[in-house]
Amino acid sequence: MVSIDITVGFLNKSYKKIKQLSYLLIMGLAACHTAYLPQSVADDGALLRGSNNESISFEQGNNRPIYSTLNEELLNTIIEENRKLSEKITALELRQDNLERSIAVLGEIYYQQEKDDSKQSDSSNQLELANKAFNSHQYVQTINLLANVKHTPSSLWLLANSHEKLKHFESAIQVSKQLIRQFPQSDLAPSAYLLIARCQKTMQQKDIARDTLNTLRNKYPDSPAAKTAQQLLKK
């Protein structure tokens, strides 16, 4: 952000300087057509000099210039320089406009990042508190604390277990399925299948529970949960 501020400052200074030079050239051009110039220019005691050392000067406090004839070459030079300066001004204005838009975009990105970081920090704090509540057997409080926590394998696993402890078996099954669906590569996914089968068995859905255990064994054959599933299927 600092480098952008410096660039904008440089463009502003360059823009003002070119504006001033352009103004002086325009005044010189006007001198070719009139014997009078504005008081503001006359008071500056401005001096323009041509290629043949021809000049036009303005005395302090006098609106009427004292000048020698500007030749055609100097007139053309003034016109050409003014054109070049106008192009530079236009280019600088465009660059500054682009920079301002870029700064606005960067500002929005920075604000969103700060907002996301703040949410992530709050979510981590809530998850930590939920873990403490669960370990203290405060399952309802655990569920409430997890209500606004970003879904992760850990938060969903904790939520599913809290529902199971409260005998909310349908909710426990749904949350476990959500964990498996969103995070199939998580180490907790095989354990989620075990939790589902356990709830189904408790609900007297023994055949469905066996199907769940077989699915676990087929999808995660090398997991510790698969070995537990194999033992349960023998019973």
Q: Which two tokens stand for residue 198?
A: 């356990």
Q: Cα-atom radius of gyration of the chain, to the nearest Å?
A: 40
Higher pLDDT, 143 or 87: 143
- Class of domain 151-234 (CATH, top level): mainly alpha
Residue 89 has pLDDT above 70, yes or no: yes
Asked whether the beta carbons of 189 and 220 are under 8 A apart, the reply is yes
How much is the pLDDT for 103? 82
Q: Any residues with CB less than 8 A from the CB of 76 and at least 6 apart, and which?
A: none
How much is the pLDDT for 117? 54
User: Averaging pLDDT over each range in 19-28, 67-76, 113-122, 167-176, which range is the top one?
Assistant: 167-176
pLDDT confidence band for 218 (50 / 70 / 90)? very high
Query: 93: helix, coil or strand?
Result: helix
Task: Give me the amino acid identity at 201.
Answer: K
How much is the pLDDT for 105? 82
pLDDT confidence band for 154 (50 / 70 / 90)? very high
DSSP secondary structure, 109-132, as one string? HHHHHHHHHHHHHHHHHHHHHHHH
How much is the pLDDT for 9? 55
How much is the pLDDT for 126? 86
pLDDT confidence band for 43 (50 / 70 / 90)? very low
Residue 215 has pLDDT above 50, yes or no: yes
What values do phi and psi take at 187, rounded to 5? -65, -20
DSSP one-letter code for 34 = -
What values do phi and psi take at 150, rounded to 5? -60, 140
**Alpha-carbon gap, residue 65 to 56, rounded angstroms:** 7
Higher pLDDT, 222 or 98: 222
**Alpha-carbon gap, residue 39 to 61, rounded angstroms:** 8
Task: Give me the amino acid identity at 135.
Answer: N
Please list the helix, strand and coil fractions of the chain in percent, rounded to the nearest 5, in that order: 75, 5, 25
Q: Whole-model pTM? A: 0.51
Which of 88-102, 140-154, 182-196 is predicted least confidently? 88-102
Higher pLDDT, 180 or 62: 180
Average pLDDT value over all residues in the chain = 76
Residue 161 has pLDDT above 90, yes or no: yes
Higher pLDDT, 176 or 148: 176
Average pLDDT of the segment spanning 103-107: 80
pLDDT in tens, 66-86: 444 445 676 677 778 778 877
pLDDT confidence band for 216 (50 / 70 / 90)? very high
Residue 54 has pLDDT above 50, yes or no: no
Higher pLDDT, 60 or 100: 100
